[in-house]
Amino acid sequence: MRLFDPYGQLIERPTKPETERIGTVLVRDQASSYPSVRLTPDKLASIFREADAGDIRRQAELFEEMAEKDPMLGSVLQTRRLAVQAIEAEILPASNDAQDKKIADGFKENWEDLDFEDASLHLLDAIGKAFGTVEIDWALEGSEAWIHGFEWIPQKRWTFVEISGALDAPLPQLPRLLTDAEPIYGEDVPPFKVVYHRYNARSGFAQRGGLLRSVGYYYLFKNYDIKDWIIFLEKFGQPLRLGKFSSAASDDDKKVLKEAVQNLGTDAGAIISDATMLDILEAQTTQASSDLYERAAKYFDKVYEIAVLGQNATTEGTPGALGNEKARAEVRQDLKKADARALAKTLRWQVAWPWVGFNFGWDKKVPLIRFPVADPADLEALARTHRTLVDMGARIPVSFIRKKYGIPAPVGNEPILTAPAPAVAGFENFGLRTARLRKVRIPVGSRLIDFDPEIEA
């Protein structure tokens, strides 16, 4: 039987995994060309054109700086990643067959020994940067192949450049790893050695699929806006220092006055001749002009939220707003589910499948990997629905209600909440009426006496 890798490429059936490291992160990998410095529209377009041609190094470095320099952009990207990263993975057998259960139990045992939290962060980095990669640290223990961990490989260590340079050559499905031996075209990696998680925000090429590509120009414009805002504050945020000298002032007097004006901003004091004057003029600006830059910055932040979180809201919150505004600042539910399904698919076919193939055979069924995403429930509305169903005669198990609402079963004789006894029809206001009758005065002959109905009864 022929064997195809997860990308549809025909490969030789491997008998054991590659145990040697191929993507060790080097000291020089920390070096960067810092493409965000003096970024202009022309420079940004040049970076994107290089990436479209397969050379993604400068684009990868720019994406790192964008999330690092813009706190809002970095925050929404982190929120998107953590929405899935916080979910515990479930390992399930492919079927109820005893062999499939045995395979799932074995893989689950290996999986639970791994620290997958860091690996999931690196793979989910694909949301912003189009793809994320980790190297599988395989180890042979007798005849068994086990995974000891995952090692991150930076995006800038990969290239999509076509070796032949021919425009009619097949488009590579996988990037190649840049090495000392092949620093330009890169080398193909051994099968099942690297986990390559691609984010498919839309149809197109891998190097253009990240959300940071979508907001690249907005990052540039916001950068311009912040710079202009700082210049505006520098010019108009402090009063103008105006020195005046008389027509009879000497050159030395003018020089002293000039130095006083220049130093007044830091020293807050100066000594000048009585023939000169120094005025402090308050900056005169309109509220509209001073708020212009702030409004622009907030607009760009909203664009980030729409692109990354899927909804237009502010994570800062509005004074007096409750409940739903906090929810709007989270990841949209359909995006969260899509991210979870995509990551589970990558792990099943690039981690679980080779593990099964090396240990049980390539024709065996692969365990399922799931990241269950619970739908947020309105418990109050749900409780009304359950009450209506019970009133209609539906038989709902108590265990179901406890699980749905997270209510634990009472232990021993501990106090429990009970429903109040229903009022008897026609006697709802009986207590009120009798209270009004108590201690009334009635005439008896020529006297008034107090009458208590409760005592007399």
> What residue numbers bound the domain in which 391 lies?
379-418
What's the pLDDT score for residue 66? Answer: 96
Where is pLDDT greater, at 439 or 389? 389
- Averaged confidence pLDDT in the chain: 83
Q: What's the confidence (pLDDT) of residue 327?
A: 46
User: What pLDDT score was predicted for residue 457?
Assistant: 47
- 118 and 210 share a domain? yes
Identify whether residues 263 and 359 lie together within a single domain. no
Q: Are residues 272 and 409 in the same domain?
A: no
Q: What is the pLDDT of residue 320?
A: 47
Percent of the chain scoring above 90 in pLDDT = 48
pLDDT at residue number 281:
55
Residues 179, 23: Cα–Cα separation, whole Å: 8
pTM: 0.74
Tell me, yes or no, whether 445 and 341 share the same domain.
Answer: no
Q: Which of 210-214, 217-221, 275-279, 352-356 has the lowest mean pLDDT?
A: 275-279
Instruction: Decide: helix, strand or coil at residue 374.
Output: coil
Residue 295 maps to a domain = no
Tokens of 407: 């209510």
Q: Please check whether residue 317 lies inside any domain of the structure.
A: no
Residue 288 lies in a domain: no
The reported pLDDT for the residue numbered 22 is: 92
Q: Is the pLDDT of residue 317 over 70?
A: no
Give me the pLDDT at residue 303, please: 94
In the prediction, which pLDDT does 410 show?
A: 85
Please check the confidence at residue 109 and state whether its pLDDT lies above 50.
yes
Both 100 and 135 in a single domain? Answer: yes
| Cβ contact 139:19 at 8 Å | yes
Q: Is residue 50's pLDDT more than 90? A: yes
Candidates 346, 354, 392, 58; CA nearest to 216 is: 58
Mean pLDDT of 292-304: 91
Q: For residue range 375-393, what is the model confidence (pLDDT) as tens digits? A: 776 678 888 888 898 889 8
Residue 289 lies in a domain: no
Same domain, yes or no: 254 and 387: no
- Report, as an integer, the average pLDDT of 154-168: 81
211 and 247, same domain (yes or no): no
- Kindly state whether residues 94 and 182 are assigned to the same domain: yes
Look at residue 203 and tell me whether its pLDDT is greater than 60: yes
Q: Region 70-99: what's the mean pLDDT?
A: 95
Confidence of residue 429 (pLDDT cuts 50, 70, 90): low
Is position 56 within any domain? yes
- Residue ranges of E strands in 170-255: 176-177, 194-198, 240-245
State yes or no: pLDDT of 324 exceeds 50: no
Q: Model confidence over 113-145: pLDDT tens digits? A: 998 999 999 999 999 999 999 999 999 988 899
Same domain, 130 and 260: no
SS3 sequence, 122-187? HHHCHHHHCEEEEEEEEEEECCEEEEEEEEEECHHHEECCCCCCCCCCCCCCCCEECCCCCCCCCE
Model confidence pLDDT, tens digit, residues 141-159: 888 999 999 999 999 999 9
Q: Is residue 306 part of a domain?
A: no
Q: Alpha helices, DSSP H only, in 70-115? A: 71-85, 98-112
**In the predicted model, is pLDDT for residue 258 greater than 70?**
yes
Do 19 and 39 share a domain, yes or no? yes
Is 294 within the bounds of a domain? no
Long-range contacts of 115-119 (CB under 8 A, 24+ apart): 115/149, 116/89, 116/150, 117/85, 118/150, 118/152, 119/149, 119/150, 119/152, 119/195
- Residue type at position 226: I
Our count of domains for the chain comes to 4
Of 21 and 452, the structure prediction assigns the larger pLDDT to 21
Instruction: Say if residue 185 is in the same domain as residue 276.
Output: no
Q: Is residue 322 part of a domain?
A: no
Q: Is the pLDDT of residue 328 over 80?
A: no
Mean pLDDT value across residues 93-114: 96
Q: Are 31 and 154 in contact (CB under 8 A)?
A: no
Which pLDDT belongs to residue 407? 85
Q: What mean pLDDT comes out for the span 85-106?
A: 95
Do residues 430 and 398 both lie within one domain? no
Q: What does the block give as tokens for 399?
A: 């265990």
Is residue 53 predicted with pLDDT exceeding 60?
Answer: yes
